Structure 1
Amino acid sequence: MIMSRIEAPSDDVTGNLLDRLLTGLPAEAVHTDPDVTASYAHDMASFCPAGAPAVVVLPRTVEQVQHVMRVATELRVPVVPQGARTGLSGGANASDGCIVLSLTRMDRILDISPVDRVAVVEPGVVNAALSRAVGEHGLYYPPDPSSWETCTIGGNIGTASGGLCCVKYGVTAEYVLGLDVVLADGRLMSTGRRTAKGVAGYDLTRLFVGSEGSLGIVVRAVLALRPQPPRQLVLAAEFASAGAACDAVCRVMAGGHTPSLLELMDRTTVRAVNELTRMGLPEATEALLLCAFDTPDPAADLAAVGALCGAAGAPQVVPAEDTAESELLLQARRSSLVALEAVTGTTMIDDVCVPRSRLGDMLEGVERIAGKYGLTIGVVAHAGDGNTHPTVCFDAQDPGEARRARESFDEIMALGLELGGTITGEHGVGVLKKEWLARELGPVGLEMQRAVKDVFDPLGILNPGKLF
């Protein structure tokens, strides 16, 4: 296996490593203070081991990234690429003696073209900053993860992130037209295109999207943009059961509607959000469904969906009166994961995507698992995609509770696969789901994945220990 080729560098190698790095990097880009390096050791995932980096490097140019990779190849030192470390699967966790390559200082928006409808950006650009910048040109970059105010485009590409608007606009992979990538040996490769069409050769761009930094370092991205849509209006529908809410989702999608957002929050999540934000969401509900349209006549579309929710048993359907009220509802949804973390102080956030038709089965199964293990498990979901985020709340200081949390997490993953789903819709595999990736792909699929890794990273120095 690739992992067997890389071991933690010796003290002699580490000393030589610093000397070699400083031949092509300014001193302020290289950090070895243990307090600093420890702060770059891991992302936001629980139950994911992290090592101690030998050095943290923060380059500003492509040439500096190339220099880092040439040194790493020469000395056989592992490199862990990082963005803002908002990931939830341990994909950015350091390994012992590695170079942490933080790309947050490569944060320039290089070009925005209203004619070509593309933006060219460096990997450290924050998602929300890009959205605001293109908005000034009447354009729209749709992928919007819940952490959009802090997560970076490079990290979004690494994990193939989604967001609240995926049901209508799709995920990150559908907006990455081309990439500049520094390979493991320091060579620079360009993939894809800037044009609206292009089928020249294998689609290497898509290969890098979702590869979690295991094949190369993305240093520039050409991203597709859309015209800015009208402001969306949101409808909130209360349900007496999660199953009824999922029935409404099926009715909406089968009815041919294309909402810009279709999100679900279960009772546990609603109460947690109220506790954190004091928003006054309806705590008596068993499930709250949020549906939005950004069409020319959103009120008419919401009325049609409201009727479908009523037919599915919703006792209360409330359309927002204006964009301000809509934004308040969306803020409640975006606060969900933070609110659930506040319940016990620690969470394990699952990311299981199932066919929309099995969404009700998924939520009912999670409720059974929560009861079996005596844990609080809140569920938020990109319901229009079938992408659920069961969030296990537990006390990390209680060994028995922590064990039950891990066991419940595994049962939720197994349930997702049983329902014809996938172990991750947008958070990636990282360290957390390596075993489950092998189960989902099967032995032949895993062999082919490892063969691709061998081609791009024959020494196994790029983000070792992740994926498989």
Structure 2
Amino acid sequence: MSDLLSRLRAGLPADAVLTDRDVTASYAHDMASFCPAGVPAAVVLPRTVEQVRHVMRTATAERVPVVPQGARTGLSGGANAVDGCVVLSLIRMDRIIEIDPVDRIAVVEPGVVNAALSKAVAAHGLSYPPDPSSWEQCTIGGNIGTGSGGLCCVKYGVTAEYVLGLDVVLADGRLLRTGRRTAKGVAGYDMTRLFVGSEGTLGVVVGAVLALKPAPPRQLVLAAEFGSAAAAGEAVAAIMAGGHTPSLLELMDATTIAAVNRLTRMGLPESTQALLLAGFDTEDAPAGLAAVGELCRAAGATEVVPAEDAAESDLLLAARRAALPALEAVKGTTMIDDVCVPRSRLAELLDGVAAVAAEHGLTIGVCAHAGDGNTHPTVCFDARDEDESRRARASFDAIMALGLRLGGTITGEHGVGVLKRDWLARELGPVGLELQRSIRQAFDPLGILNPGKVL
């Protein structure tokens, strides 16, 4: 231990190596439940690429595991420490190095907060579309590590579609540059995409070239109430089949609506079984909302209310962003799933989750990026109650199995981490698992990068 700390301190500022147990304990885990976390030997907070390289060279020489971290807002245990590791926190590498309106790119360090980047590029008439629910806290490096999404995915896609190039420090301290700054480029294997979603198991992202879009007009949002999940699912299918491109298409079930009302006092309609929010950010947004409203009524909506202005639209979106904190307040602890299914199977997933909740005697609320089939069934439970915790874990697994049966995937944007390792093996199958392990071995032959995660 003393050799490790001495070698780390030799290449880092004095305030960049933390060893106080009370302090390092606060870096030991992310926001996921049921994910074990170990005791780190140290937490390091570098500010430069060379300092990150020093950490990795030291870890390789000492054969010590390294766990890369961002803001620790993850929900799968992917940033959790293992015993004796070096936690490599990248939050001090938070510079926006360049914003280029001509090439429509931003060059950033991994600790840049998503909302800070969005505000910075907005000053140039541009936007960075990926917007996870935790966008005001989560970092770009963490978004890249988990391949995160957000409310806008139905129109603009996920993080992977905006990462053009990366600077990555490998396990042995070498610096790798992938990708490009150009709008097009197909030279060699797509190494950039390989790192997106790898959760720090292949290398440490220390810089990113991100694609930007022209800033759209302020969006307008419509709220539609439905008497059943099946009716809401039918509306989603009709909207997408009709060729519409909403800027968001979000859903909250009755359990989630009630929880949001208790937390925020927003007065959302609790008489409905499903609330669908549809948004458009084009110049003809009112026409888009009118067309979607008609499709919702045809699918059985009991009420369709378009927002009158951007402020009212923002209020509806604030309700949707409050869904996860509101569900956490129900019992104090949550397990948040992110099963993604084909849009055509969305209603079956919602009905299946309701059946799982009844079977296990638990409150499970569902909010969803309905436009891309990405659902967030959220199991509410009291972590102090051993039996309730057991039922919570069993219901979580039942929902994962349900998602796979419906032709879906175990994670649409939260990543695998610790929480879903066993389920990843089921989804990939033996051949896929073997090949992915071979890739990991090629990048990290000593197995020191984020061990115990993903595979």
Match of 2:96 in 1: 109
Q: What's the CA shift for 1:33? A: 0.3
Give, in whole Å, the separation in 1 of the partners of 2:45 and 2:378.
Answer: 33
Q: What's the CA shift for 1:143? A: 0.1
Aligned AA (1:383) = A
Aligned AA (1:336) = A
Q: Aligned ranges for residues 185-334 of structure 1 at < 5 Å?
A: 185-334=172-321
Please, what TM-score do these two structures have when normalized by structure 2?
1.00
Q: What's the CA shift for 1:315? A: 1.0
Match of 1:32 in 2: 19
Q: What's the CA shift for 1:114? A: 0.2
User: CA offsets, 1:301-360, max 9 Å, x none?
Assistant: 000000000000001000000000000000000000000000000000001000000000
Match of 1:62 in 2: 49
Give yes or no for the alignment of 1:364 onto 2:351.
Answer: yes
Give yes or no for the alignment of 1:376 onto 2:363.
Answer: yes
Q: Secondary structure at the match of 2:251?
A: strand
Q: What's the CA shift for 1:203? A: 0.2
Residue from 138, 161, 164 that aligns with 2:151: 164
Give yes or no for the alignment of 1:49 onto 2:40.
Answer: no
Sequence identity, in percent? Answer: 79
Please, what TM-score do these two structures have when normalized by structure 1?
0.97
Give, in whole Å, the separation in 1 of the partners of 2:72 and 2:297.
Answer: 41
Match of 2:4 in 1: 17
Q: Secondary structure at the match of 2:275?
A: strand
Give, in whole Å, the separation in 2 of the partners of 1:26 and 1:364.
Answer: 55
Match of 1:422 in 2: 409
Residue from 130, 140, 161 that aligns with 1:143: 130
Match of 1:391 in 2: 378
User: CA offsets, 1:340-384, max 9 Å, x none?
Assistant: 000000000001000000000000000000000000000000000
Give, in whole Å, the separation in 2 of the partners of 1:30 and 1:400.
Answer: 41
Unaligned ranges ≥5, structure 1? 1-13
Give yes or no for the alignment of 1:342 onto 2:332.
Answer: no
Residue from 434, 450, 457 that aligns with 2:437: 450
Q: What's the CA shift for 1:242? A: 1.1
Give, in whole Å, the separation in 1 of the partners of 2:230 and 2:251.
Answer: 11
Q: What's the CA shift for 1:295? A: 1.0
User: CA offsets, 1:207-244, max 9 Å, x none?
Assistant: 00000000000000000000000110000000001111
User: CA offsets, 1:71-95, max 9 Å, x none?
Assistant: 0000000000000000000000000
Aligned AA (1:30) = V
Aligned AA (2:203) = G
Give, in whole Å, the separation in 2 of the partners of 1:23 and 1:467.
Answer: 32
Give, in whole Å, the separation in 2 of the partners of 1:397 and 1:19.
Answer: 41
Match of 2:422 in 1: 435
Unaligned ranges ≥5, structure 2? none
Give, in whole Å, the separation in 2 of the partners of 1:284 and 1:53.
Answer: 49
Q: What's the CA shift for 1:136? A: 0.2
Q: Secondary structure at the match of 2:71?
A: coil
CA RMSD of aligned residues (A): 0.3
Q: What's the CA shift for 1:182? A: 0.3
